[in-house]
């Protein structure tokens, strides 16, 4: 029997080329003589079937369709007429998640995420219209930057699927669709804000935890190559569930902040640190080579002195006249003084190297306190670093001023910046004192100065965008 492109057919029993094809309704995608390429339910094309292996599908019968349904209620992806890709996936899960934090025992912070917090109506509603991004962006996604970061959108509110939050979205970027289909980039990682309840405890199912995540509000949903919180979350591709880990982030203890560190970003930071260490080692090696050169020159001078002393001894043994011996003694004295001077110069060089390294390190620390921890000074002179700090602080100065005058202005600028931190400490102390007074009169809870300062800093921090998206 002959078929045309678009016809619905069934594979006859015993004729299937792949398991589970028998009796499945498929569509003819291509015709080549008496052979046919069939489009599978997941969109792939399987070649070739002969006309004898196929039968026309009955249009009045219920169709049996092929599904590899390991994903609960997740649907396989579907490409629409515009080439956009409709996807279902698991964005996150219930349980205790571990994050690196040196301030906690063992360097691990365990955060509890309960079903009631994930299923909160405002949390599930926040998934709707959340932009889909290719990896986590460097800032939270807003209307002002969505053209740079958005590659699609979550089209519905999140919904609970067993212990997961399931999402439905639309990927509109051809590049990201290609990565998902061809490169295996299928893991999901939400960027979100969260409030942390810092009361530790032991959950009867999930075990010990240090903090609990509450008031989870999603900002964006990133498609990443590798997530970090396990393999129970999933995005469904090609009609099957591909295991993922949905929480590719480090959520800070400050409320409503996102600090995501994608593995690529982490590797880049490690590579950068390795480069800086190599540069510092190269500088140290150069200084050590210079020191070795000075030592060799001193050793050479000492060798010459020893040779002259031996010559004097020989001359005395031969009873040379006093004038010749005096001349040799004068030469020995001159060379001895030169050797002593070389030793003093060598000692001074060690001290100058140490002082120079110490002064440079202090200059870079002071500059970083103003310019920020990401500032790099490897290719800058001391003068160029000071000019950057003065420019950052808004100081007016003459670039032709002497190094000493420029250093004085630099010190004033750094001290002024440091005084801002001292003022913040004072505000924290005053706030803590007021809190203790309120607590004494029943007006509030008693807090330490450090706690008050931390809360003040947290409020200030939330006025700025983070450096990376969170999970």
pLDDT at 23: 57
Q: How far apart are CA 191 and CA 27, in angstroms?
A: 40
Residue 37, pLDDT score: 87
Q: Do residues 48 and 36 touch, judged by C-beta distance below 8 A?
A: yes
The token pair that represents 344 in the structure block: 């003093």
Q: Are strands 164-171 and 150-154 parallel, antiparallel or unpaired?
A: antiparallel
Q: Evaluate whether 427 touches 451 at the Cβ level (below 8 Å).
A: no
CATH number at 8-56: 2.30.30
pLDDT of residue 38: 84
**Token pair of 207, please?**
């075990």
pLDDT of residue 176: 95
> Would you kindly state where each structural domain of the chain is located, as residue ranges?
8-56, 78-267, 289-379, 380-471
H helix and E strand count, the chain: 9, 19
Cβ 86 vs Cβ 236: under 8 Å: no
Q: Please provide residue 454's backbone torsions phi and psi, each rounded to the nearest 5 degrees.
A: -60, -40
Cβ-based neighbour number of residue 402 at 10 Å: 10
Residue 26's alpha-carbon distances to 53, 68, 199, in angstroms, are 13, 15, 56
DSSP-assigned letter for residue 444: S
| Number of neighbours of residue 222 by Cβ within 10 angstroms | 27
| pLDDT for the residue numbered 66 | 32
Q: Which of 239, 245, 254 is nearest to 225 (CA)?
A: 245
Block means of pLDDT (10 residues each) for the chain, 471 residues, are 80 60 74 84 75 66 32 76 93 87 87 95 97 94 96 96 93 94 86 93 92 96 70 51 36 37 59 73 80 82 85 71 79 88 78 84 89 87 89 80 87 84 66 69 59 61 40 46
DSSP structure string for 113-126 = E-HHHHT-HHHHHT
Q: What is the pLDDT of residue 101?
A: 84
Nearest of 260, 235, 238, 256 to residue 247 by alpha carbon? 260
Q: Which residue has the tokens 């594979």?
A: 11
pLDDT value of position 48: 80
The residue behind tokens 């690529």 is 264
Is there a contact between 399 and 388 (Cβ–Cβ < 8 Å)? no
Say what the pTM is.
Answer: 0.39
């Amino acid at each position: 029997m002959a078929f045309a492109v678009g016809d619905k057919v069934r594979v006859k029993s015993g004729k299937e080329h792949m398991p589970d094809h028998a009796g499945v309704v498929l569509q003819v995608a291509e015709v080549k003589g008496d052979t046919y390429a069939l489009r599978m339910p997941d969109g792939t094309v399987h070649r070739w079937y002969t006309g004898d292996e196929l039968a026309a599908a009955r249009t009045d019968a219920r169709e049996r369709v092929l599904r590899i349904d390991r994903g609960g209620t997740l649907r396989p992806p579907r490409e629409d007429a515009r080439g956009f890709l409709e996807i279902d996936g698991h964005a996150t899960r219930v349980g205790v998640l571990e994050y690196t934090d040196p301030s906690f025992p063992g360097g691990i912070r365990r955060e509890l995420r309960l079903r009631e917090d994930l299923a909160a109506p405002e949390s599930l509603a926040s998934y709707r219209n959340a932009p889909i991004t290719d990896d986590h962006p460097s800032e939270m996604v807003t209307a002002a930057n969505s053209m740079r970061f958005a590659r699609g959108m979550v089209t519905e509110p999140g919904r609970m699927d067993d212990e997961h939050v399931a999402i439905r979205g639309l990927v509109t970027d051809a590049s990201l669709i290609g990565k998902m289909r061809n490169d295996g980039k299928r893991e999901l990682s939400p960027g979100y804000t969260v409030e942390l309840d810092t009361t530790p405890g032991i959950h009867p199912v999930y075990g010990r935890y240090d903090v609990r995540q509450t008031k989870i509000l999603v900002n964006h949903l990133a498609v990443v190559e590798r997530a970090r919180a396990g393999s129970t979350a999933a995005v469904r591709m090609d009609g099957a569930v591909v295991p993922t880990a949905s929480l590719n982030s480090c959520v800070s203890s400050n409320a409503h902040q996102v600090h995501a560190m994608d593995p690529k970003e982490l590797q880049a930071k490690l590579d950068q640190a390795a480069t800086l260490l190599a540069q510092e080692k190269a500088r140290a090696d150069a200084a050590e080579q210079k020191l070795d050169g000075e030592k060799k020159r001193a050793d050479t001078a000492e060798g010459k002195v020893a040779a002259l002393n031996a010559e004097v001894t020989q001359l005395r043994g031969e009873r040379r006249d006093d004038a010749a011996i005096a001349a040799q003694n004068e030469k020995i004295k001159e060379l001895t003084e030169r050797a002593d001077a070389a030793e003093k110069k060598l000692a001074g060089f060690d001290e100058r190297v140490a002082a120079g390294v110490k002064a440079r390190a202090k200059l870079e620390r002071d500059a970083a306190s103003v310019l920020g921890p990401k500032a790099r000074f490897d290719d800058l002179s001391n003068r160029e670093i000071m000019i950057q700090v003065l420019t950052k602080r808004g100081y007016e100065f003459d670039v032709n001023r002497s190094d000493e005058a420029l250093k004085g202005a630099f010190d004033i600028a750094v001290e002024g910046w440091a005084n801002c931190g001292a003022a913040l400490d004072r505000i924290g102390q005053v706030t803590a004192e007021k809190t203790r007074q309120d607590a004494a009169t029943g007006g509030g809870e008693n807090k330490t100065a450090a706690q008050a300062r931390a809360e003040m800093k947290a409020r200030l921090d939330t006025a700025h965008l983070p450096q990376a998206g969170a999970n």
